[in-house]
């Protein structure tokens, strides 16, 4: 089974590739190295012998993409490539449209020409309308809250529209907040520039690149006043892809959407305290005014994934803190 992972050297992509260890898998990776490093490939090759090659390809380059597919017999595409900063998406609208949407259009058209009919897409909880009081379900209202969210929702719509004409079997996974690092301490989230997410920012503090954490707001309607999000360990998130692969190859006419999260809201303060409790590492922080659009809490109802994919999260806040601390200490 030949599996192509786009964005396979990124944070989530690299962790997935490291776990595709079934002997029947042959793994191919393409990545434009926009927010990843070529050195990650060397690490992955040591971890997983199923990896057959890496090629630097930008999905905006359709000609190069077509040539690559002609040389490979791909059975399924796991599409993880894409820009992912909500704040940056506002200041670089064209960049996000071209990279995320145009890149995917090129990919799906190349899949069509190559007669590839199986797809797993990494989407985001950013496609949902804000809900304050309850867990988000897959059939809840969708609403565009950012340019980044718009690109994810647009790609989903393209998949829905193309599924009939392409006879496309797909699973869309809407991530909440992936966190944590590989158990070997060699793979983690290490973005270029200023981190946009909580855990890699804490990573900079562990590495002594920054002195303190900026906490935006302490007046949210949560137990400690700080914003709460659904943080899921990267290993649990990767496991949903393994379950999705099994489902796509076992059944026909699969066209499904799943939320991927731990199913609980975890505050920023709880994250900070977890490092002190489990790693004996005190994180200094300062409160800043709330940012426009930030919600009190966002978390998922993950019952659908539990029922249909036969999946459930196995790791917790302790595992996230310990694996994060181990990675950034290295």
Is residue 170 domain-shared with residue 310, that is, in the same domain? no
Domain CATH number, residue 212: 3.90.25.10
Token pair for 202: 């804490």
Q: Which of 218, 241, 260 is the last residue of a domain?
A: 260
**288 located within any domain:** yes
**130 located within any domain:** yes
Domain that holds residue 287: 198-229+263-329
Residue 287 is a catalytic residue = no
Is residue 256 domain-shared with residue 272, that is, in the same domain? no
Is residue 157 domain-shared with residue 218, that is, in the same domain? no
Sequence length of the chain is: 330
What local confidence, expressed as pLDDT, does residue 191 receive?
82
What local confidence, expressed as pLDDT, does residue 150 receive?
96
Report d(CA 217, CA 226) in Å as an integer.
6
What local confidence, expressed as pLDDT, does residue 193 receive?
77
DSSP 128: B
Report d(CA 219, CA 228) in Å as an integer.
12
Is residue 155 domain-shared with residue 204, that is, in the same domain? no
Is residue 75 domain-shared with residue 38, that is, in the same domain? yes
Is residue 283 domain-shared with residue 311, that is, in the same domain? yes
Q: Which residue among 68, 148, 175, 231 is the active-site one? A: 148
Mean pLDDT of successive 10-residue stretches along the chain, which has 330 residues: 97 98 96 95 96 98 97 96 90 95 98 96 94 86 92 97 91 98 93 86 96 96 96 98 97 96 97 98 96 87 98 97 95
**CB contact set of 59 (below 8 Å; sequence gap of 6+):** 6, 30, 32, 65, 81, 99, 102, 103, 104, 106, 107
Report d(CA 14, CA 5) in Å as an integer.
9
Is residue 65 domain-shared with residue 212, that is, in the same domain? no
**115 located within any domain:** yes
Domain count, the chain: 2
Map residue 258 onto helix, strand or coil: strand
Token pair for 245: 């692969």
Is residue 251 domain-shared with residue 271, that is, in the same domain? no
Domain CATH number, residue 77: 3.40.50.720
What local confidence, expressed as pLDDT, does residue 192 receive?
78
Measure Cα distances from 188 to 86, 170, 282, 330 in Å. 20, 27, 21, 11
Nearest of 205, 186, 181, 185 to residue 195 by alpha carbon: 205
Report d(CA 8, CA 88) in Å as an integer.
22
Q: Which of 239, 260, 281 is the last residue of a domain?
A: 260
Report d(CA 228, CA 224) in Å as an integer.
10
**125 located within any domain:** yes
Is residue 110 domain-shared with residue 209, that is, in the same domain? no
**184 located within any domain:** no
Is residue 141 domain-shared with residue 284, that is, in the same domain? no
Measure Cα distances from 6 to 59, 69, 78, 323 in Å. 9, 12, 6, 25
Is residue 148 domain-shared with residue 278, that is, in the same domain? no
**190 located within any domain:** no
Is residue 57 domain-shared with residue 77, that is, in the same domain? yes
What local confidence, expressed as pLDDT, does residue 133 receive?
65
Map residue 172 onto helix, strand or coil: strand
């Amino acid at each position: 089974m030949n599996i192509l992972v786009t964005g396979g050297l990124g944070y989530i992509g690299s962790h997935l590739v490291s776990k595709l260890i079934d002997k029947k898998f042959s793994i191919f990776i393409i990545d434009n190295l926009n927010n990843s490093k070529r050195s990650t490939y060397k690490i992955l090759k040591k971890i997983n012998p199923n990896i057959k090659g890496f090629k630097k390809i930008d999905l905006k380059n359709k000609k190069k993409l077509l040539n690559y597919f002609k040389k490979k017999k791909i059975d399924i595409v796991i599409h993880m490539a894409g820009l992912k900063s909500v704040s940056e998406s506002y200041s670089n609208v064209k960049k996000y449209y071209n990279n995320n949407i145009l890149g995917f259009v090129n990919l799906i058209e190349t899949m069509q020409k190559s007669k590839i009919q199986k797809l797993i897409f990494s989407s985001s909880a950013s496609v949902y309308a804000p809900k304050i009081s309850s867990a988000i379900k897959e059939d809840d209202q969708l609403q565009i809250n950012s340019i980044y969210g718009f690109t994810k929702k647009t790609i989903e719509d393209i998949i829905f529209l193309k599924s009939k004409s392409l006879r496309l079997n797909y699973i869309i996974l809407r991530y909440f907040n992936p966190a944590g690092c590989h158990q070997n301490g060699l793979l983690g989230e290490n973005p270029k520039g200023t981190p946009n997410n909580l855990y890699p920012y804490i990573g900079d503090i562990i590495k002594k690149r920054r002195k303190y954490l900026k906490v935006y707001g302490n007046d949210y309607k949560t137990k400690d006043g700080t914003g709460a999000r659904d943080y899921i360990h990267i290993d649990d998130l990767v496991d949903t892809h393994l379950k999705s692969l099994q489902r796509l190859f076992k059944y026909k006419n699969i066209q499904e959407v799943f939320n991927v999260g731990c199913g609980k809201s975890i505050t920023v303060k709880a994250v900070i305290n977890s490092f002190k409790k489990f790693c004996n590492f005190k994180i200094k922080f300062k409160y800043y005014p709330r940012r426009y659009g930030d919600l009190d809490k966002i978390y998922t109802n993950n019952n659908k994934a539990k029922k249909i994919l036969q999946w459930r999260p196995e790791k917790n806040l302790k595992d996230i803190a310990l694996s994060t601390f181990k990675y950034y200490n290295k």
